[in-house]
Amino acid sequence: MRDFIELAVILPVFNEAKAIDKHFKIIYDTLKQFDSDIHFVIVDDGSIDDTWSIVQGLVKDYGDVKAIRFSRNFGKELAIFAGLESIDAQKYVIMDSDLQHPPKYIKDMLEVMDTENADIVEGVKESRGKESYIYKIVATSFYRLLESLTGLKLENSSDFKIINNRVVSALCAIKEKSLFFRGLVDWVGFKKVEFPFVVDAREDGTSRFTARTLIRLAFTAILSHTSKPLYLTIIASGIMFVLAIILGIQTLYNYVLGHAIGGFTTVIILILFSSSMIMFSLGIIGFYISRIYDEVKGRPRYIIAENHLRDEETHE
């Protein structure tokens, strides 16, 4: 039986050479005040500055720190999963290393988890902090679009979370390559409690999370959580069919009045109705593709939170 440490802190980093040493010391000193067995996993997401050499120094200076380096930039989502898969713990803290996820809240979040007997404590931003006006518009639009398409209510959510090993086991069972961490934490279920926090200003360096990055993440989130865009073809075919009827009636009316050019009426009606049927056929294909899409993701058919079955009642 494996020994699980009490708490693992996952820190994905990318080009943080200017600040990682200072910021990690603050995070480490804050958390080491707890009377717990705490270990840290720093995941370098293919930094092109001196981040990795500094992280190697941290591993040497602190005996309870381990580090992983990607061969290139694979993205924050995969960096988080690499950290989760690399260590066995009872509870996991996922946070940014730039102190915008303040470590001072973690003790209270752990207490909420124990008091509420929750599996997930999700950090929810009371405000979005100092973000540009354009970024706030893009972020708000993204979360509203995501909610309308997938039902995931993630506005003001963050990657600042504490999750237990049951949740991590469920997440690691998902073998997809295109991942949206926040959405998957919501998808796996389990008891979740929100914890409001104030985003601290970034003290050093600049954020790598731009509006362009958010748009790319939006596509990943939507495509990995819903097949609804495939149904747009069916909707378009319905609209085109209605237009075909209206224009077909108008074309026949002109033909009866003698205003139509010879042969023109037949061509127009055939084009309109054949186009609507082609769109409808593509929509039917879209339904089948959506089923294939759901199957190839290979997600668990269900996730058991707990059970009270006797051994003889379980089946292979």
Supply the pLDDT for residue 163: 93
Q: Taking 50 as the threshold, does the pLDDT of residue 51 lie above it? A: yes
Supply the pLDDT for residue 316: 45
Reported as a pLDDT band with limits 50, 70 and 90, residue 129 is low
Mean pLDDT along residues 223-249: 74
Mean pLDDT along residues 113-135: 78
What integer best gives the mean pLDDT of the chain?
78
pTM of the shown model:
0.69
**71 vs 244, residue with greater confidence:** 71
Mean pLDDT along residues 93-115: 90
Reported as a pLDDT band with limits 50, 70 and 90, residue 37 is confident
Q: Taking 70 as the threshold, does the pLDDT of residue 247 lie above it? A: yes
Q: Taking 80 as the threshold, does the pLDDT of residue 257 lie above it? A: no
- Per residue in 165-220, pLDDT tens? 999 998 888 877 777 888 888 888 888 898 888 876 666 555 555 556 666 666 66
| Whole-angstrom distance, CA of residue 165 vs CA of residue 264 | 69
- Per residue in 70-97, pLDDT tens? 888 888 888 999 899 888 899 999 998 8
For residue 145, what is the DSSP state?
H
Least confident of 26-30, 33-37, 75-79, 139-143: 139-143
CA angle 3, 9, 12 (to 5 degrees): 130
Instruction: Classify 77 as helix, strand or coil.
Output: helix
For residue 2, what is the DSSP state?
P
Q: List Cβ neighbours of 205 (8 Å cut-off, separation of 6 or more).
A: 15, 16, 18, 19, 98
